[in-house]
Amino acid sequence: MQPLMHCLEVTLRNAIDYSIRHARLPGAAGHWRTDTNWIFDLPRYIGEKTWIRQNKRYKTDARGQKLMHHGKPVYDRTAWEEDCIRKVSKRIRAAGKAPTAERVISGLDFGFWTNFLTKNYDEPRNRSLLWPQLLPSVFPGYPPSRAGKEIYPYP
């Protein structure tokens, strides 16, 4: 069973990666990159959408400053996907390698990729996220009659 799950994970991962890099996602412009380094940008964008609305994204000091002394943000709350990418990047650095997009993408587990199938990545109105635009390229056999339905109906 494990080899089958591994093949499914690699196939899903590669299909999502290829589709994001090659599909036209007009709503993504200005929000997150759709080039090779999308893996670092899309989860950050999801974190912004999730926590900025609630005003809980950044930690602030006594003066209300949201940035550390070197200009990097101090995150109070991050999206689960951001944490996954941070952990994988740390593991890659510990192995003495640079955390390139390709290494990070291949280091993420199946749970990370199935999370991309949830409603968090579905935004049909302004089309700034993955679904429904990428359905035909990620899932070529997906029936058009189910185009408005969730792929993975869990939160």
The confidence score (pLDDT) of residue 127 equals: 73
**Cβ atoms within 10 A of the Cβ of 2, count?**
6
Between the alpha carbon of residue 106 and those of residues 9, 10, 119, 135, 138, the distances in Å are 10, 8, 23, 21, 17
The pLDDT tens digits of the residues spanning 97-148 come to: 999 999 999 999 999 999 888 888 887 776 778 888 888 889 888 777 766 6
Residue pair 21/34 in contact by the 8 Å Cβ criterion: yes
Residue pair 35/28 in contact by the 8 Å Cβ criterion: no
3-state secondary structure of 119: helix
Which amino acid is present at 149?
K
The confidence score (pLDDT) of residue 90 equals: 94
49 closest CA partner among 101, 126, 109:
126
Residue pair 122/87 in contact by the 8 Å Cβ criterion: no
The pLDDT tens digits of the residues spanning 44-89 come to: 777 776 655 545 555 555 566 565 555 555 555 677 888 899 899 9
Higher pLDDT, 49 or 95: 95
| Apex 141 CA angle, 107 and 104, nearest 5 | 10
155 closest CA partner among 108, 120, 109:
120
14 closest CA partner among 153, 126, 137:
137
Q: Domain limits of the chain?
A: 2-146
What single-letter DSSP state applies at residue 1?
Answer: -
The confidence score (pLDDT) of residue 72 equals: 59
